Structure 1
Amino acid sequence: MPIRFVLDCDTGSDDAIAILAAASHPELEAVAITTVGGNVALEHVTANTLSVLDLVGAAVPVYAGADRPFLRPDLPIPRDVLNKDGEFQLARLGFPEPVSTARAENAVDFLTAFFLDDANADVTLVATGPLTNLAVAVTAEPRLAGRIPRLVVMGGAHANGNVTAAAEFNFWADPEAAEVVLSAGIPEVVIVPLDATHSAPLTERDCAEFDAIGSPAAAGAAMLLRHRLAHDQAAAVTASSPVHDPMCVAYLVRPDLFTESVRAFASVETTGDRTVGELLVDTRPWCPEPPNATVALRASVEVYREFLRTAFEAADRDAPRKSA
């Protein structure tokens, strides 16, 4: 039986690769996708999501959610200032305009009803964007936290951030939402921070391997990875780029992906001028708070590549099963 999950995302390039892999892998079943404003504005996130699903013929229902942070009127630095050149995070990803459309139901309403249904007690929630949708949902319906069996979230940095010295983008974009979610009491939380994703970057060699596979999913992933390699400042030195979000879906199939992790109390800074959005992982033996998350610190690039290759090689032959 495939592993069922719901993906909550802000589809830029790495979310798109996660969708391509998840919609193609024979051991995964994307039950639904909910969208949230983050990498780009919500309208573009939703259109990107639909375009990626159309590319691989995956009839996964899509529900649009929050277009602004949980409490703040905008990101700490407005998106049009943060990404003023629009080069690293493209508003649209270069795929054809979507033919499919999003469902009328709001993402928050969908998530609430879905996880309160006993029939979905086995479904993991994977979040690869700001946690706004989930924060709104668990605040409005406190029972929801106990009904989500597992949350795997890409966010935070135990060491250095990316959007600031302290913070990774997803938690920085909506720090209040991240703090609400981490303190909500979800039974199992796995955090995939920059520490893990940066430890297993991908390269042009991976693009060539994806091209050789020849499936639409593989070709789309190669195109998106090449864009990241061309516009990631660090790639000019390392000739590689971390591809963050697909690690969350890879973990569902390959729990051996993470080679180092820590069980600890995790929280998010919401008030610091220089540290807003910082993930705090309290590993002190005398920490007064009980552990609430498993935080991945390192990943195996070999396992990661194997997961992606398996997904993209299966993409064409597995297409019928992926249609709902």
Structure 2
Amino acid sequence: MPRKLILDVDTGTDDAVAITLAALHPELELIAVTTVNGNVEIRYCTDNSLRTLDFIGRGDIPVYEGCPKPLVRADFPIPRAVKKDGGMHVNVLPLPDPVSRKQDKGAVEFLIETFRNATEEIVLVPVGPLTNIAAAIAADPDFVKNVPEVVIMGGAHYTGNITASAEFNIWADPEAAAVVFAAGFRKITLVPLDATFQALVSGAEAKALEDLGTNAGIAASRFIAQRIKGYDSTQPMKTLGSAPVHDAVCVAYLVRPDLLETKFVNVQIETQGIHTVGRTVFDVNKRGDAAPNCHVAFGANKDIFINMMMDVFKRA
């Protein structure tokens, strides 16, 4: 039986690859996509999600638009962050205009109702800022107990990608992230930069995806090539001409848990530091008194990730 999931996205290039993998993998059932303000403004996140689903032939999957701004911070405009990404995230992805349309219901309401009424387990996979999830927690006292598992892309231990100490998704709404990690979900797995930087996709591998000749392979190749260009110009990886596809790693993990090496540690979010706002604080050496609350990925197997995309996108 396919594993059910909901993707919560701020769709730019890596989110689009994650949507493609989740929508097409035969062992997954993508129930819906919910969007949140993040890489680009919410209207573009929604439009990009619709474009992606239509292009890969999965316009039947509903898209629900969510929160247009962070919970608290008016001083976190997304354009200021986008300028630092070397063009990896554009307002409109290079795909045909969507035919499908977003749902009338809002993302937060949809999440609350879906998990409240679920008769089978659904994994919640937020790969953007955590605003929608924190809003659902605030609106429904039972939301946390209704969600069996959360797999989050975000955070960093060794290095940030938007500031010296913070990863973008957590930095974009640190108060929301703090709410989510303190909420007491039964199981949270966090996939930070420390893991995704170990699952790099090269230009040659992107070309191989294009050569599959499917819409999924062509789209993924196009997005990854754009990411490689951005990373090479702004934050080159150890292997030049390669880039992480952060969000898709979370989707692949649902099918192949052995993709990631995790440690169960306490994670807290810095919301007040002048130089460290948005930092994910991992108590790897057990210096604090707080109990572990999160399975954090510190390693990733690139071959499992690449082979999965090649296999799934070939059959699409």
TM tier relative to shorter chain: over 0.9
In the TM superposition, what is the alpha-carbon distance from 1:286 to its structure 2 partner?
5.4
CA deviation string 1:241-266 (max 9, x = no partner): 111000000000010101x3210111
Secondary structure, aligned partner of 1:238: coil
How many angstroms apart in 2 are the aligned matches of 1:265 and 1:95? 41
1:270-313, CA deviations, whole angstroms, 9 ceiling, x for partnerless residues?
Answer: 01111000001112345311111000001000011111112202
- Runs of 4+ that moved beyond 4 A: none
Q: Which residue of 1 aligns with 2:259?
A: 257
TM-score (norm 1): 0.93
Residue 290 (structure 2) aligns with? 289
Residues 234, 241 of structure 1: 8 Å contact kept: no
Aligned-partner residue type, residue 194 of structure 1: L
Which position in structure 2 is the counterpart of 1:182?
Answer: 181
How far is 1:3 from its partner? 0.9
Aligned to 1:243: 245
Compute the TM-score of the two structures, normalised by the length of structure 2: 0.95
Q: Give the counterpart letter for 2:279 in structure 1.
A: E
CA contact (8 A) 1:63 1:110 kept: yes
Q: Which amino acid aligns with 1:183?
A: A
CA contact (8 A) 1:36 1:45 kept: yes
Specify the SS of the correspondent of 1:130.
coil
- Matches of residues 122-137 of structure 1 in structure 2 within 5 Å? 122-137=121-136
Aligned to 1:30: 30
AA in 2 matched with 1:44: Y
The corresponding residue for 1:113 is 113
Q: CA RMSD in A?
A: 1.4
Per the alignment, residue 103 of structure 2 pairs with 103
Q: CA offsets, 1:56-92, max 9 Å, x none?
A: 11110110000000111242xx222332487221001
Cα distance between partner residues in 1 of 2:209 and 2:300: 21
Q: Distance in 2 between matches of 1:125 and 1:82?
A: 26
- Rounded to whole Å, the distance in 1 between the matches of 2:150 and 2:75 is 25
Q: Secondary structure at the match of 2:31?
A: strand
Secondary structure of 1:15's aligned partner? helix
Q: Percent identity?
A: 42
> Following the alignment from structure 2 to structure 1, what is the Cα–Cα distance between the partners of residues 4 and 141?
23
Could you tell me which amino acid in structure 1 is paired with residue 195 of structure 2? Answer: A
In structure 2, the gaps of 5 or more residues are none
Q: Residue 50 of structure 1 contacts residue 98 of structure 1 at CA under 8 Å; is this kept in 2?
A: yes
Contact 2:40–2:79 (8 Å) recurs in 1? no
Query: Which residue is equivalent to 1:230?
Result: 229
